[in-house]
Amino acid sequence: MVVSGGQEQLHRKALKLYNAPTMPSTIRPRTALLALLLALPGASACRARLTAAELADPAITARVKAVLDGHPELDIRYLDLNTHMRIVTLSGMVESRDSKQRITDLVRRVAGVRQVVVNLAVQE
């Protein structure tokens, strides 16, 4: 690279710092990039994977019921749920639109649920 006068001295200092074996209190850019690239493939492996038994419809149904039972503010007495091929169908009556939305959101977050079909009627 062609540089002139005082810029040449700055250029040499910059190259010296960039190629230095260690830089005080900073990480060399190449090292940081390499660490990031090596960490990315492993990031998806940190997520827990479900076994075949945990993906079975009865196991999903049990998890959905447990989640809904953990929310006593929701009246689920008239709620019927069915799971087929990891698709949960909700049927029955709920107290309000808010309850309907809350139940739907909770069920969507259950591990193993692929889709939620909502056939819930709101009590008038």
Tell me the two tokens of residue 85: 């091929």
45-48, long-range: CB within 8 Å, 24+ apart, which pairs?
48/111
In the chain, domain spans: 5-46, 52-122
- By residue count, the chain amounts to 124
Confidence tier at 53 by pLDDT (50, 70, 90): confident
**Domain 52-122 grouped into CATH 3.30.1340.30:** yes
In angstroms, the CA 87 to CA 56 distance is 11
Average pLDDT (57-68) is: 94
Confidence tier at 51 by pLDDT (50, 70, 90): confident
Task: Render pLDDT for 78-101 as a digit per residue (tens, 0 to 9).
Answer: 999 999 999 999 999 999 999 999
User: In 3D, which of 26, 120, 23, 22 has the Cα closest to residue 79?
Assistant: 120
- Phi and psi (nearest 5°) for 111? -60, 130
The reported pTM is: 0.60
In angstroms, the CA 106 to CA 83 distance is 15
Q: Residue 88 in 3-state DSSP?
A: strand
All residues at 6 or more sequence positions from 108 whose CB lies less than 8 Å from its CB, including other chains: 116
